[in-house]
Every structure is written in C-alpha cells, then in structure tokens.
Amino acid sequence: MTGPDAAGCVEAVFREGRSRLLALLAARFGDLDLAEEVISEAVEAALRRWPVDGVPDKPLAWLFTTARRKAVDRIRRDRTYAQRLAELRVESDRTVPTHEVDFDDIPDERLRLFFTCCHPALAPEAQIALTLRCLAGLTTHEVARAFLVPTATMAQRLVRAKRKIRAARIPFRVPGPDELASRLPGVLRVVYLVFTQGYAPSSGDDLVRADLADEAVRLARVLHRLLPDEREVTGLLALLLLTDARRAARIDAAGSQVLLEHQDRALWDADLVAEGRRLVVPALTGPGVGPYAVQAAIAALHDEADSFAATDWPQIVALYDVLLRIEPSPLVALNRAVAVAVRDGPDAGLVLLDGLAGDLSDYHLLHAARADLLRRLGRRAEAAAAYTVALDLAGNEAERATFARRLAELTGG
C-alpha cells in the first residue's frame, strides 16, 4: 500500500495502538513527555515514508522501533533527559534493547500506565485528565471539552500532572499483590467517572457525550483484558455495558430526555445486554462481592425486564440494601428510595427522600425525584416548587429543559 492510502493507514494504526505505544515507551524510559514526543516524531516519519516505501508488514512494530530509536538519540544528545532518567533511577527492565524486537512479543504495558495516571498522589481531576489523554487517546482540546475549560487551561493541568509524576518519582509499575486491593478501586473510579460524564454529563448542552461514554467502555475492556480475574473489574465492565445498552432510547426524536419508565426497549442494544449479563455471573461469584458487581446486577434486572412494570423491583430494593451495607452513601440511598417508591408507592419513597434532604440539599436529582413523587400524589404546587429547585441546581442544559417542561405542565406556563 502506497500513496494516500498509506497515509490513512498511519492514522488508523496510530489511533488503534497509541495507548499501548505510549504505555510501553513511558515504562521503558520513565517519562511521559518524552514518550509522547517521540511517538509524534515516529508518526511524522511514517507519514513521509509509508506513502513512498509502502506500509510495513507490522506497522505498529515499525512505529515502536522508530520511536524507541528517537528516544535513545534524544537521551544521548540531551543531557537534560539523561539527567532526568538518572534521577528516576530507571530500573533494569526499562533498559532499551539495542537489538530489534518484535512488538507483538512485548507484553502490554497499559496496566502500568493505568496505575500511574490514577496514582493517589495526583488530584482526582488530574487522574481523570491524564487517563483521558494517555489511555483514551483524547487530544488536549477534547479533554478540555470534557471538563468545560479552555484548552490552554487543560494543557497547563496536564503539564503540572506530568511534572508531579516526575517530582514525586511516581513509578511506572503495577502495584504488588499487597497494594493492588487498595489501588485498584481508584483506577476503577476514574473509568466510572469518565463514563458518567459521558452517559449523564453534569454540565454542558448534551444529554449524552458519546465520545466519553465510548472511551470509558473501551478503557473498561482494556482493564478487563489485563486483569480478567479481578471480579470488580468484571463488575465495572458489566455495569457500563448494561447501562450503555440503553443509550439510544434515552433521547427522543426531538432531542428530549426519555426516562427509563417511558423508554422504547426495542431500541436497547441486545448484544451489549447479553454480554453484560454474562459478565455479571463471574462478578458476583465468590465471597466479598463488590459495589460495581452489585450495581451491575441491578442494571441486569432492569435490562432483562420486558417493561418497567414487569421489573423485579423487590429484588432491586434488596440489592440496594446490599449496596448500602458495602458502600453506604447518600446517592445509593437516593436510588434505593426511588426503587422503594415504585415497589411500595410514592408515599413510601417520599418519606425516604425527605430524610436525605440534609445530605443532598444541593443535588438536583433529589429535588427532581421529589417533584416526580409529589406530582404522582397530586400535590401539584409542592411538585412545581421542587421542579423549580431542580431547575436552578441542574448544570446540564438537556436536563434543565426536561425540568422546565415538567414545571410548565404543572403550572400551565
């Protein structure tokens, strides 16, 4: 393949293999900036040579070898990089081989990069930003859009995060068995937060950020491939798949939000539902079930029901009881209260929601849930007041439009 087709191949290979290239080179040299720079240089070299020489048999291996050579050249001629690597006390397994290697035979180093980006020494926002940049492959502009900040601001955040990795000498390694249990939840939380910001953005104009939701699912798949025996990794992937399966039904033809009760279940992705349900079984099998596995089981009960009314609400409430025991939080209690309202009636749910008013007074979905139950009870004035509060607190414009429409229905406005 030569000419324009070769240039397109460069883009495809880079998009598919970027995170693995970055992880491998960062692990070898201990420097994210150096890894990113030499990968860019290797891509530029491919764009010059592949259209003329043809696409190599193993294009990703070609990019890796070229980037590795450029890194070695940079270190040899640049004392700053050489000194930096000396300060990092690069371990023997980061030594760059002088002979040719087959990229296909090199272990996948992305797990190291996951734990580096999600190191507890970094602020939570920095962990998410680095994960999106390094593992999801988003550009700095795209990461900035996810955080709704200017690109220059995000560029500075990423620079500071990488600087912190160097200054704190955060190692590019997978934690040992004694550390893994304490470090893995942080990695899973970052992937879950990326998905949440994609599937239900807290701000902005879009009801769904498909780019972020897709990347979170892809990251969860990578984690599951790297840690197949970690049940909470399996649970997280199952939860994301079972939730994302409903994406197409969440927005109607006019672009308005459609709640679960009114969604056309024929639009749900049956393949994702089936895959997610298969993963729930191993996630729940064994002692010490985790919170993502329980949430995945709840999502599976929703997805396997023929209708909202046919859903096994008693079992969902029971699973929320389990979730409250293993990971108590006001948000879990809120979701349980909504399930209780369906099982036992709006009065029962309203009592529970009112008990959460102190913890979640600034959370728009608490007020939206109260408004819905009050509306069902015929208490229209109170429902309108609750929708007004939800409207004031919501940051997502699509959600605000939904609350405004409901408020207008109640008030005739």
Q: Identify the CATH number of the domain in which residue 41 sits.
A: 1.10.1740
Interacting residues of 386 by C-beta distance below 8 A, sequence separation 6+: 367, 368, 370, 371, 374
The burial of 312, by beta-carbon neighbours within 10 Å (0-12 exposed, 13-18 middle, 19 or more buried), is given as middle
Residue finishing a domain among 251, 277, 311: 311
Tell me the one-letter amino acid at 331: L
The rounded distance, in Å, linking the Cα atoms of 184 and 176 is: 11
Cα distance between the two ends of the chain: 63
Residue finishing a domain among 283, 311, 339: 311
Q: What total number of domains does the chain contain?
A: 3
Residues in the chain, overall count: 413
Q: Do residues 340 and 369 lie in contact, with contact meaning Cβ atoms separated by under 8 Å? A: no
Q: Do 206 and 232 fall into the same domain?
A: no
Q: Do 217 and 232 fall into the same domain?
A: no
The rounded distance, in Å, linking the Cα atoms of 132 and 139 is: 8
Q: Do 208 and 238 fall into the same domain?
A: no
- Residue with tokens 């690109």, as numbered in its chain: 151
Q: Using only the alpha carbons of the chain, give its radius of gyration.
A: 24
Which DSSP string do the residues of 168-205 spell out, in sequence order? TT--SSPPPHHHHHHHHHHHHHHHHHHHHHHHS-SSBS
Burial 53-67 (b: 16+ CB within 10 A, else e): eebbeebbbbbbbbb
Q: Establish if 307 belongs to a structural domain.
A: yes
> From residue 31, how far is each of 27, 154, 168 by CA, in Å?
8, 19, 13
Q: Establish if 371 belongs to a structural domain.
A: no
**Which DSSP state fits 173?**
S
Please give the pLDDT value at position 199.
82
Q: Do 146 and 69 fall into the same domain?
A: no
The rounded distance, in Å, linking the Cα atoms of 99 and 353 is: 65
Q: Do 139 and 217 fall into the same domain?
A: yes
The rounded distance, in Å, linking the Cα atoms of 267 and 290 is: 30
CA torsion through residues 22, 25, 28, 29, sign: negative
Element (H, E) at 351: helix 346-354
Q: Do residues 239 and 284 lie in contact, with contact meaning Cβ atoms separated by under 8 Å? A: no
The rounded distance, in Å, linking the Cα atoms of 80 and 83 is: 5
Q: Establish if 406 belongs to a structural domain.
A: no
The rounded distance, in Å, linking the Cα atoms of 203 and 344 is: 33
Tell me the one-letter amino acid at 246: R
Q: Do 70 and 158 fall into the same domain?
A: no
Classify the phi-psi angles of 96: left when phi > 0, otherwise alpha if psi is within -120 to 50, otherwise beta. Answer: beta
Q: Do residues 136 and 251 lie in contact, with contact meaning Cβ atoms separated by under 8 Å? A: no
Coil/strand/helix, residue 307:
coil
Which DSSP string do the residues of 109-154 spell out, in sequence order? -HHHHHHHHT-TTS-HHHHHHHIIIIIS---HHHHHHHHTS-HHHH
Q: Do 35 and 20 fall into the same domain?
A: yes
Q: Do residues 374 and 358 lie in contact, with contact meaning Cβ atoms separated by under 8 Å? A: no
**Which DSSP state fits 174?**
P
Q: Do residues 2 and 54 lie in contact, with contact meaning Cβ atoms separated by under 8 Å? A: yes
Q: Establish if 359 belongs to a structural domain.
A: no
Q: Do 135 and 50 fall into the same domain?
A: no
**Which DSSP state fits 93?**
G
Please give the pLDDT value at position 6.
67
Please give the pLDDT value at position 102.
54
The rounded distance, in Å, linking the Cα atoms of 282 and 280 is: 6
Q: Do 213 and 266 fall into the same domain?
A: no
Q: Do residues 367 and 385 lie in contact, with contact meaning Cβ atoms separated by under 8 Å? A: no
Tokens of 9: 């191949």
Q: Do 138 and 215 fall into the same domain?
A: yes
For the whole prediction, is pTM greater than 0.75? yes
Q: How many CB atoms lie within 10 A of CB 367?
A: 25
The rounded distance, in Å, linking the Cα atoms of 200 and 190 is: 15
Q: Establish if 368 belongs to a structural domain.
A: no
Q: Do 123 and 164 fall into the same domain?
A: yes
Q: Which range of residues forms the domain containing residue 271? A: 228-311
Q: Establish if 106 belongs to a structural domain.
A: no
Q: Establish if 154 belongs to a structural domain.
A: yes
Residue finishing a domain among 226, 258, 284: 226
Tokens of 318: 């029971």
- Residue pLDDT tens, the chain, 413 long: 555 666 678 777 777 788 888 988 888 888 888 899 999 999 899 888 888 888 888 888 889 999 999 988 888 877 666 666 665 544 434 444 444 455 555 567 888 888 889 999 999 889 989 988 888 888 888 888 777 688 999 999 999 999 898 888 888 888 888 788 888 999 999 999 889 888 877 666 677 778 888 888 989 999 999 899 999 999 999 999 999 999 999 988 877 788 899 999 999 999 999 999 999 999 999 888 999 999 999 999 999 999 999 999 999 999 999 999 999 999 999 999 999 999 999 999 999 999 999 889 999 999 999 999 999 999 999 999 999 999 999 888 888 888 999 999 998 86
Q: Establish if 65 belongs to a structural domain.
A: yes
The distance of Cα 91 from the centroid of its chain, to the nearest Å, equals: 31
- Residue 396's beta-bridge partner residues? 204
Q: Do 282 and 235 fall into the same domain?
A: yes
